[in-house]
Structure 1
Amino acid sequence: MSRLRGLVADTRPLQEPHFRRLWLANIVTVIGAQLTVVAVPAQIYADTGSSAYVGLTGLFGLVPLVVFGLYGGALADHFDRRSILVVTTLGLIGTSGLFFVQAALGSTNVWLLLSLFAVQQAFFAVNQPTRSALLPRLVRTELLPAANALNTTVFQAGAIAGPLLAGVLIPFVGFAWLYLVDTVTLFATLSAVVRLPRFGAIATGAAPGVRAVIDGFAYLRHQPVLLMSFVVDLIAMVFGMPRALFPEIAHLDFGGPDEGGLVFALLFAAIPAGAVIGGVLSGWVSHVDRQGRAVIVCILLWGLAMVGFGLAVGLADRWRGPTLVAALAMLVVGGAADMASSAFRSSMLLAAATDEMRGRLQGVFIVVVAGGPRIADVLHGASAAAVGTAAAAAGGGVLVVVGTVVAALVVPSFVRYRITRTPA
């Protein structure tokens, strides 16, 4: 029994009321958010029939993520973080409402849809580093890995329910209702955010702006382990995230309808499903000292899983049923590996950074974590147009493995990184 308790997720962070309220609100909110995550590329593909246009969501999401992610981190180190969360959550509610309006009016303007997506990502890019920077104020340092695992598990659970619901419902109710659900569920997070205490301004250095952002990069430059945590994640996501290919793979390789369907939903839900399984069984992460080596192993496993996914897709024309099962299994394995990698990297960043720098470093973190997959959307969309979906997915996995091995050899201090535990 004690061995089982050490394996399942550590729930001690939920004893803190503010963290618990945010976490419970997320259970509702992330499902709605994931409906929009699926609906946007599905609507674009339904309107255009092109994975290249779907891949443009990466470009339109990346630019605001970079600009506002970095600036938002500086804001989080200068102003009251609760106030920033209130404003940006209201912004997310507003943009989700506009998604609903354009779909309800029957718009097929792909550029309008992409522009709304860019505005939404700008609010997201300010909200997330602020929220992450607040975490060490809500839970003790030794509970940060467990808190990050809990947050990731809820997010990924929503990323399962959202795609499954979206893929099944889109052919029957259309896109507008999905956007409306996202709008309504965001009020749960708004309710939790307004109940947070005011934390006040933190930084005593430069006001938010270019100088403050530069100070954050200068701080990071002298933290090679943290810098490498960003580099290896970029390698994993830029080369290894094949989500822009899912609409075309579901339609052409596995015979689903072009506007969605069950296979489409399963592909989008598989990686989050793996992350949830990994999160439920995440008790072990609190016992790992050599976190740098653990990150490398997890990313290598992610890359190999994406190679397997691409190979399975390539054989779909011969054995559609078995290869679909194999493709989904590879995505599940990759999701579990990515969850563990994320928990370690997030904890390393929060524990090592000073409080007056956490916002800016979390800004860099959100640019890397959310921006990497958006670059991948562009690259995979363009690559699939040239070499096909199977080759694009498998080739990306190979590049992940090669890039991660090279990074580990170039900066061995990251592989050797380990935490020092305080005696009880």
Structure 2
Amino acid sequence: MTVPGSEGPTRELGTGPEAPTRELGTGPEARTRKLSAVIRGAFADTRPLRVPAYRRLWLAGIVTVIGAQLSVVAVPTQIYELTGSSAYVGLTGLFGLVPLIVFGLWGGAIADVMDRRVLLLLTGSGIAMTSLALWVVAAGGVGNIWIILTLFSVQSAMLAMNQPTRNAVIPRLIPAEQLPAANALNMTVFQTGAIVGPLLAGVLIPVVGLPTLYLLDAIALLATLWATWRLPPVPPQRTGVTAQRHVGFRGVLDGFRYVGMHKVLLVSFLIDVVAMGFGMPRVVFPEMSEKVFGDPPGGGIALGALFAAIPLGMVVAGLFSGWLQRVHRQGVAVTLAICLWGAGVAMFGLTGSLWLAVLFLAIGGAGDMVSSVYRSSMLQRVATDEMRGRMQGVFVVVVAGGPRIADMWHGPAAAGFGPGAAATVGGAAVVVAAIAVVARFPAFWRYRGPVEAS
């Protein structure tokens, strides 16, 4: 055979019996290189960070996510301080969910008709301004619970428009085969913030006071605003067939019709509703921590461990997510990951050991991480650019709504036949329903995502 040299003409390689032979890839150095490659492949794939625009957004997100979690802790804490009532704290669910649904769907439609960079700047600025307003209200003592809830609702609306827009931008920045890696990096940062942010808030409140948490959140948002400002223009790509676009109810309906026409997208939403609607057991954590794991009334170490277990499992899975971009049959991977989530939750409900409970929840969280990465990648890959905003809006509503469905039935079920049994039934239902959904729509099982050529 002939190979081109780096300089000069091609040269003939000996292939006859007299040609020198040597064994390739068997020496100590070769084995060391192979081991290093295996180790690198096990850890998170960081190639998307080579794209400057994505890297800036991701690095800024580390700061912003932790800042956002400070406000997540501050709002219910402040309301409880003002009222002394958990019922009033519960109103944050209503004041947060309604704008999340309405503006998540509408914001996705807006993201499909205007420059997404501009929309990110507008909504990001709105989030920062509401955090500043919450700081003024808390520091000055000039507001009441209804002012806080109103500002919280406005901030939720801005977040609902910002998140689908941001997710719709990512496929324009990096190659399609690197979307699973990018989504794994994003989710790892988010889940890390979900652990670190509340812990940091607990440390800071006695030191700097609750109002300062809002100010720190607003300052942290400057990092993401800077990264967004550095983005190139990201106008939606138009085609001749769908150049006419609608903002408002008609645009939202177009999005739902689009989901119905694409079975892979439809099942990706349905299977997430199944996973979270049946399986999310967070409502039973307080009762199980006290009655099963021996926490004092009001909560203790067990309660904190249970709430941290699922995000901890997701973070660990994210850190060792290097293999995700090598999986071609992503429909199969999502189905198996959802079943792993359900099995972990079911086993959690059966155990009387705190550390086994944490382990099972963490395993379930790892399954949820894998499922989320691939479902996000499917959404970004299957949906055309002109529909990505609306699809991401539906995604935000599904992700937010599923756990709240679980909250509604886990509470009465736990009161009726025990918290552990409620969790186990929910986990088992996840496995059964996920298999049923995929069996009904086999195109999802057959879905194959792009993988990078080796």
User: What TM-score, normalized by structure 1, do the two folds share?
Assistant: 0.87
Are the structure 2 counterparts of residues 99 and 192 from structure 1 closer, same or farther at C-alpha, using a change threshold of 3 Å? same
Are the structure 2 counterparts of residues 49 and 405 from structure 1 closer, same or farther at C-alpha, using a change threshold of 3 Å? farther
User: Hey, what's the Cα distance between the residues in 2 that align with 1:266 and 1:161?
Assistant: 13
Aligned length: 413
8 Å contact kept, 1:55–1:382: no
> Which among 123, 130, 135 is matched to residue 95 of structure 1?
130
User: Hey, what's the Cα distance between the residues in 1 that align with 2:95 and 2:414?
Assistant: 19
> Which among 281, 284, 290 is matched to residue 323 of structure 2?
284
How big is the shift at 1:368?
A: 1.1
Match of 1:66 in 2: 101
Are the structure 2 counterparts of residues 146 and 357 from structure 1 closer, same or farther at C-alpha, using a change threshold of 3 Å? same
Match of 1:399 in 2: 429
How big is the shift at 1:360?
A: 1.1
- TM-superposition CA deviations, 1:349-397 (whole Å, max 9, x none): 1111111111111111111122322333444455555555444433332
8 Å contact kept, 1:130–1:362: yes
User: What TM-score, normalized by structure 2, do the two folds share?
Assistant: 0.81
Is residue 335 from structure 1 mapped to residue 370 from structure 2 by the alignment?
Answer: no
Are the structure 2 counterparts of residues 102 and 305 from structure 1 closer, same or farther at C-alpha, using a change threshold of 3 Å? farther
Are the structure 2 counterparts of residues 5 and 368 from structure 1 closer, same or farther at C-alpha, using a change threshold of 3 Å? same
Please give the residue correspondences for 1:271-310 in structure 2 after superposition, counting only pairs within 5 Å. 271-310=310-349
User: Hey, what's the Cα distance between the residues in 2 that align with 1:370 and 1:16?
Assistant: 30
8 Å contact kept, 1:305–1:333: yes
Is residue 417 from structure 1 mapped to residue 447 from structure 2 by the alignment?
Answer: yes
Match of 1:364 in 2: 394
Match of 1:239 in 2: 278
Q: Counterpart amino acid of 1:326? A: L
User: Hey, what's the Cα distance between the residues in 1 that align with 2:138 and 2:206?
Assistant: 14
Please give the residue correspondences for 1:308-323 in structure 2 after superposition, counting only pairs within 5 Å. 308-312=347-351, 315=352, 323=353
User: Hey, what's the Cα distance between the residues in 1 that align with 2:137 and 2:425?
Assistant: 37
User: Hey, what's the Cα distance between the residues in 2 that align with 1:164 and 1:83?
Assistant: 33
User: Hey, what's the Cα distance between the residues in 1 that align with 2:251 and 2:110?
Assistant: 9
8 Å contact kept, 2:191–2:315: yes
Are the structure 2 counterparts of residues 421 and 340 from structure 1 closer, same or farther at C-alpha, using a change threshold of 3 Å? closer
How big is the shift at 1:417?
A: 1.8
Match of 2:67 in 1: 32
8 Å contact kept, 1:164–1:269: no
8 Å contact kept, 1:58–1:376: no
How big is the shift at 1:150?
A: 0.8
User: Hey, what's the Cα distance between the residues in 1 that align with 2:197 and 2:107?
Assistant: 27
Match of 1:188 in 2: 223
Residue aligned with 1:283, SS: coil
8 Å contact kept, 2:119–2:165: yes
User: Hey, what's the Cα distance between the residues in 1 that align with 2:388 and 2:437?
Assistant: 25
Match of 2:374 in 1: 344
Please give the residue correspondences for 1:10-159 in structure 2 after superposition, counting only pairs within 5 Å. 10-41=45-76, 50=86, 57-104=92-139, 113-159=148-194
User: Hey, what's the Cα distance between the residues in 2 that align with 1:327 and 1:169?
Assistant: 30
User: Hey, what's the Cα distance between the residues in 1 that align with 2:90 and 2:250?
Assistant: 33
The Cα RMSD (Å) is 3.0
User: Hey, what's the Cα distance between the residues in 2 that align with 1:54 and 1:334?
Assistant: 28
User: Hey, what's the Cα distance between the residues in 2 that align with 1:170 and 1:392?
Assistant: 35
User: Hey, what's the Cα distance between the residues in 1 that align with 2:154 and 2:167?
Assistant: 21
Match of 2:406 in 1: 376
How big is the shift at 1:221?
A: 1.2
Are the structure 2 counterparts of residues 64 and 145 from structure 1 closer, same or farther at C-alpha, using a change threshold of 3 Å? same
Q: Tell which structure's C-alpha radius of gyration is larger.
A: 2
How big is the shift at 1:159?
A: 1.4
How big is the shift at 1:19?
A: 0.5
How big is the shift at 1:211?
A: 1.6
User: Hey, what's the Cα distance between the residues in 1 that align with 2:365 and 2:428?
Assistant: 17
8 Å contact kept, 2:177–2:450: no
Structure with the bigger RCO (C-alpha within 8 Å, sep 6+) is 1
Match of 1:5 in 2: 40
User: Hey, what's the Cα distance between the residues in 1 that align with 2:318 and 2:365?
Assistant: 10
- TM-superposition CA deviations, 1:54-102 (whole Å, max 9, x none): 6654443332222111111111110111111111111212333344455
User: Hey, what's the Cα distance between the residues in 1 that align with 2:90 and 2:410?
Assistant: 7
Once the two structures are overlaid, the 10-residue window that deviates more, 291-300 or 198-207, is 198-207
8 Å contact kept, 1:274–1:336: yes
User: Hey, what's the Cα distance between the residues in 1 that align with 2:438 and 2:208?
Assistant: 48
8 Å contact kept, 1:238–1:375: yes
8 Å contact kept, 1:239–1:397: yes
How big is the shift at 1:110?
A: 6.0
Q: Counterpart amino acid of 2:380? A: L
How big is the shift at 1:339?
A: 0.9
8 Å contact kept, 1:160–1:273: yes
Match of 2:356 in 1: 326
> Which among 236, 252, 255 is matched to residue 295 of structure 2?
255
User: Hey, what's the Cα distance between the residues in 2 that align with 1:378 and 1:114?
Assistant: 22
User: Hey, what's the Cα distance between the residues in 1 that align with 2:143 and 2:427?
Assistant: 34
> Which among 192, 207, 215 is matched to residue 246 of structure 2?
207
Query: Mind listing any 5+ residue stretches in structure 1 that lack a counterpart?
Result: 316-322
Residue aligned with 1:289, SS: coil
Residue aligned with 1:94, SS: helix
Query: Mind listing any 5+ residue stretches in structure 2 that lack a counterpart?
Result: 1-35
Instruction: Decide which structure has greater helix share.
Output: 1
How big is the shift at 1:280?
A: 1.0
